[in-house]
Amino acid sequence: MRRPALSPPRGTLSWLLQLGYTTARLFGQNGLQNHAAATAFYFLLSATPLLLLLSYALQLLGQIAENSVPATILMAALYDQLRLDSLTAYGFIPRRAQLAAGGVGLVTLILSSRGLVNAVHGAFKVIFPDRSKRSLVLSWVLPLIILPVLFLLMGVGALAQVILRFLAQNDFIGIGNAHLLQALNALFGFAMLWALLFAAYWRLPRHPPPARDAARFALIAAGSLTLLFALFGAVFKLENYHNLYGALGGVIFVLIGGYFAFLLIYLCAQALYAYGKADITALEKLFLAGHGEGTGKLESYVFGDAGRLLDKYGQTYTPGQAVIEEGAEDRVAYFLYAGRAVVTKRTDAGERRLGELGEGQLFGEMAYLLNETRTASVVADTEITVLALPPHLLEELMRHSAPLSRRIIDTLCKRLEHMNLATRA
């Protein structure tokens, strides 16, 4: 016995499934896993010179600590809370940094920082398709501005957390006050992370999405990263990687963490793009399905509910009511969702019927594509439901979907040929 097909979900669940499906499909097509791996690699290269600077700072702090009690407390806090002894043992921080390596570290920082910014720009250019080129000056100057500020903010936030945690553990300022300050500092750190992601989601795309949408997805990304870091710290142990891979264990540990972090960032960015194209994608699937192509069982299930599109773009006409008037100057295109319509044209002999339109057909696009007035009238033969597509939406559809563009052009050519034959007759 044949099992009946599953009914497509409706309402909010349908929209969420469409968003998730589109995000996952585009994420795989764009190869964002590779972009995340490349970005993590350049991030590691950018962090290496900064660790060298940290070594310089620790050496200087050690000299100051010989005659300063606050410097001694700060150094003890850093070693205790950041586990600098372990990081030095694992090879993250050199035991004695030589000043001669400073020049090499600076060159490495510049080149790797440019590589990191270019990797992020490349990923966003794939996520938010754009063919324009960036300024050569900005591609070199931007890394020198963004990364030092970014790592400085990260360092200040981490240092504040370390000092507060150390002071609380040793009861210097009271446990209650320390916990309150730690919570405020953690909230400030989360706000900085959100602001950074918001700036990337809003300004990196050549055609920026609405600020409100960028802010929402930046909040989702910041929350996801916070959860990822908590799970990463609980599940993955640096000591295990050091025991397994030796001196390379620390490098592998950082690469894995960076890979998953950038994977999440790019996934949320892809979801932001899919969110902005939700109507376009759903309309594309509906139109191609109307022509009997382009959808499989999964897509039919995910995009099977047209209720949201009907609520937003749907119009109903009674029998005899004109959808399009010959000679009108509007540029709206229509998709016949349900019912039947007829196409008529005025001739010297009177009104002439040119043909019929059935469910699943797109009509009225000729006026927009040819930039002319309506060449014929379309009248409802039965009660019909159509989706009205303003010019900007039709343009976006054709830019988004090559199969749909080919279908529209093919239909337009056939329609022009049919009208020429009908006129001559």
Is the pLDDT higher at 211 or at 154?
211
CB 46 within 8 A of CB 144: no
In 281-425, which ranges are E strands? Answer: 314-317, 322-324, 333-338, 341-347, 350-357, 362-363, 377-380, 384-389
* Residues 310 and 238 both lie in one domain: no
Task: Report the domain count for the chain.
Answer: 2
Give pTM, 2 decimals.
Answer: 0.76
- Both 205 and 98 in one domain: the answer is yes
Same domain? For 305 and 239 the reply is: no
Closest among 316, 320, 314 to 379, alpha carbons compared: 320
End-to-end Cα distance, the chain: 53
Q: What is the pLDDT of residues 140-190, one digit of tens each?
A: 666 566 666 666 666 666 666 666 666 666 666 656 666 676 677 678 778
Taking only the tens place, the pLDDT of each residue in 41-95 is: 888 777 666 655 556 566 665 666 666 666 565 566 555 545 555 555 545 555 5
Average pLDDT taken over every residue of the chain = 76
Query: Is 152 a domain residue?
Result: yes
Last residue of a domain, one of 212, 243, 276: 276
What CA–CA distances, in Å, run from 267 to 194, 219, 260, 294, 410?
A: 15, 13, 10, 25, 36
Assess whether pLDDT exceeds 50 at residue 365: yes
pLDDT bracket for residue 230 (50, 70, 90): confident
In this structure, are 185 and 98 located in the same domain?
yes
pLDDT in tens, 385-397: 999 999 888 888 8
Tell whether 353 and 261 lie within a shared domain.
Answer: no
pLDDT at 350: 77
The answer, yes or no, to whether residue 196 has pLDDT greater than 50, is yes
Judgement on whether residues 255 and 369 belong to the same structural domain of the protein:
no
In a domain, 288, yes or no: yes
Instruction: Please return the burial class of 195, using the count of CB atoms within 10 Å of its CB with bins 0-12, 13-18 and 19+.
Output: middle
> Quick one: 320 and 272 in the same domain?
no
What is the tens place of the pLDDT at every residue in 54-68? 565 666 656 666 666
Cα 193 to Cα 196: distance, rounded to the nearest angstrom: 5
CB 53 within 8 A of CB 276: no
Tell me whether strands 322-324 and 384-389 are parallel, antiparallel or unpaired: unpaired
- Same domain for 359 and 254: no
- Please name every residue paired with 377 in a beta bridge, in sequence order, or none if there are none: 344
Question: Does residue 112 sit within a domain?
Answer: yes
Domain range holding 286?
Answer: 279-424
Q: Are 404 and 398 in contact (CB under 8 A)?
A: yes
Q: What would the pLDDT profile of 236-289 be if each residue is shown by its tens digit?
A: 665 665 555 555 666 677 788 889 999 999 999 999 999 988 888 888 888 887
Residue 6 lies in a domain: no
Q: Of 105 and 67, which is predicted with more confidence?
A: 67
Read off the amino acid at residue 162.
V
Rounded to a whole number of angstroms, the CA Rg of the chain reads 30
